[in-house]
A and B are shown apart, each in its own frame.
Chain A
Amino acid sequence: MFLFLASVSLIALAFILYFILREAVPVFRGATIQELLGPKWRPTYEAAPRYGILPMIGGTLLVTIGSMALAIPLGLAAATFIAEMAPGWLKDIAKTALELLASIPSVVYGFFGLMILSPYIRDSLGLLTGQTALTASLLLAVMALPTIASLAEDALTAVPRSYREASAAMGATHWETTWRVTIPSAFSGLIGAVILGMGRSVGETMAVLMVAGNSPQLTFSFLKSIRTLTSGIALDIAETPSGTTHFHALFFMGVVLLVITLAMNWIAEWFRGRLAKGHLKR
């Protein structure tokens, strides 16, 4: 019985993989791997369709890097503040607020981004459109922040009291204890928080679709419009006849997305193991 329950998630994962791969593989009937990883996405241009998904991979990476550059430092700082410095009543309020923020549907965030953030960026930076990678990054940072802060706060709070006592008894100030004992002890939990936040950033579809502008161009500029893998799939899937190369290419994008997510997890695991050891060696 328990074995069955435990296997359910594994079976579900296997089925997802199977169906995505089943729909993704036929793409090679219409395009080579070089074409798929090319820089041009023009699936509906009948004379010479192109199925290069590189712009979408680039877009996903760009907004992920952008949002994490903001959300990781801010989220960890917020978590440290709530866990270590805030007085009890403020801790309760902040924690509740964070959990509330984390549960707001992404389309609501998207709406906020579209109506407020995007025009603001357009006007303040003097752009033609406010629908840019920067807008998406900022919005994703706001969305990932509660996840990171809330989980990181849990990790910090879980550090045993005896460590803090030992440090305080050595004459360390509260801040020295936080920096030298609490944070290093919570390290693997903090990495976990960051990874989940990053996962939210990579996987977010709706909010990004609403503010990123969605032009499939390969760019490294935050001030240009981009399309991510997720919103790319969501945009096309409803109006693409099933069985076409275009349709299968969307599934191929799904496979790439999966690979990116898995790679991220593996890198995090490796990083965590290495740093845990490195921390002892130092």
Chain B
Amino acid sequence: MVTPVSPIAQPAAHDVKSQKVCRLDEVTRAWIKKNIESEIIIEAENLDFYYGKVQALRDVSMCIPIDGVTAVMGPSGCGKSTFLRTLNRMYELTPGAHAQGRVSFLGQDLLKADPAAIRHHIGMVFQRPNPFPKSIYENVAYGLRIEGVRRRSALSDSVEESLRHAGLWTEVKDRLRQSAFGLSGGQQQRLCVARAIAVRPKVLLMDEPCSSLDPKASARIEDLARELSDELTVIIVTHNLQQAARVSDNVAVFMAGGELAEFGTTRQVFDDPQDPRVADYLRGRFG
């Protein structure tokens, strides 16, 4: 039996001249609906991205299903982090960066929306744990305070719930008022997850969240990503193939130059990559 092949992958292999990876058309959409059996939450169409004059993403079109974990992979400098930062407009903090194209999130164009409003719905966890120099409690309550929540009980409830979700509650419940800097790296990263999910986002972006953690702490974050995907869409950037294989349901592979080479279910991409460059990339790493 032939595995269903992602139509997104095909044009890249055959239509090298035009460098168009794909056009999102009804066929693609139908394919995703059929093969991933999921609604689409984020949809990028012909997305180009530039740092000044340097192009970091080239005509990227892809859909991200609402269910499960989507991993974004690729060699260094292929634009995977850039792609992630486009989804919550974090690239705007970098001077000279700009995006062209369309990224729709539940129907509205992300690139035209108010970035602060977008970031309420699309949370982010960074490469290095970056808690604020505040107490554990205040770190988690930060998003709610921004939203204007003042009631103490509402805040404490949310802090507890978020910390439980992030699997950190039992470790920190007796020292909520102490500085977040007293936690270990892995704990700090889980605190950052708790902080991000406290405002109940619909999407959680994770930008190589384990790159500064030891294997045990990494495993906890991976488990957490899986658990959280029951309630929200998780998009995780990783350069670790095993991690992507363990964690994700779907995989997008970028190639040098910021081109989306392949998108499909994790099994399909790992077992039977359509793009020869992706096959090389996967083989090279598995050796």
Contact = CB atoms under 8 A, between A and B. Distances in A.
Contact of A162 (B88, B126, B178): B126
B196 interface: yes
26 contacts: A160-B130, A163-B132, A165-B93, A165-B130, A166-B131, A166-B132, A166-B195, A169-B119, A169-B124, A169-B196, A170-B142, A170-B196, A170-B199, A171-B116, A171-B117, A171-B118, A171-B143, A171-B146, A171-B199, A172-B116, A184-B133, A185-B133, A280-B135, A280-B177, A280-B178, A282-B138
Interface residues of B, number: 32
B123 A170 contact: yes
B142 A168 contact: no
B90 interface: yes
A185 B180 CA distance: 13
A100 to B, nearest CB: 27
Interface in B111-134: 115-120, 123-124, 126, 128, 130-134
Given A169-B90, A280-B134, A280-B178, 19 more contacts: A162-B128, A162-B130, A163-B132, A163-B133, A164-B93, A165-B130, A166-B192, A166-B195, A169-B119, A169-B196, A170-B196, A171-B117, A171-B146, A180-B146, A184-B134, A279-B134, A280-B135, A280-B177, A280-B179
A176 interface: yes
Contacts of A281: 135, 177
A180 B145 contact: yes
Given A169-B123, A171-B119, A281-B177, A163 B130 contact: yes
Interface string B139-168: 000110111000000000000000000000
Contacts of B123: 169-170
Contacts of A173: 116
B130 A176 contact: no
Interface of B: 88, 90, 93, 115-120, 123-124, 126, 128, 130-135, 138, 142-143, 145-147, 177-179, 192, 195-196, 199
B90 A168 contact: yes
User: Which of A170, A181, A280, A281 counts the most B-chain CB atoms under 10 A from its CB?
Assistant: A170
A219 interface: no
Nearest to B134: A280
Contacts of A162: 126, 128, 130
B135 A180 contact: no
A167 interface: yes
A219 to B, nearest CB: 44
Contacts of B90: 165, 168-169
Contacts of A160: 130
A181 B142 CA distance: 10
Nearest to B92: A168
Contacts of A172: 116, 142, 146
Nearest to A88: B95
A163 B138 CA distance: 14
Interface string A137-165: 00000000000000000000000101111
Contacts of B146: 170-172, 176, 180
Chain A interface size, as a band, is: 20 to 34
Contacts of A171: 116-120, 143, 146-147, 199
A167 B147 CA distance: 12
Contacts of A165: 90, 93, 126, 130
B184 to A, nearest CB: 17
A101 B118 CA distance: 43
A281 B175 CA distance: 11
A205 B90 CA distance: 51
User: Which of A166, A173, A180 counts the most B-chain CB atoms under 10 A from its CB?
Assistant: A166
Given A162-B126, A280-B179, A281-B177, A167 B133 contact: no
Contacts of B192: 166
A122 to B, nearest CB: 49
Contacts of A164: 93
B149 to A, nearest CB: 13
Contacts of B145: 180
Given A176-B146, A181-B132, A168 B195 contact: no
Contacts of B116: 171-173
A259 B146 CA distance: 44
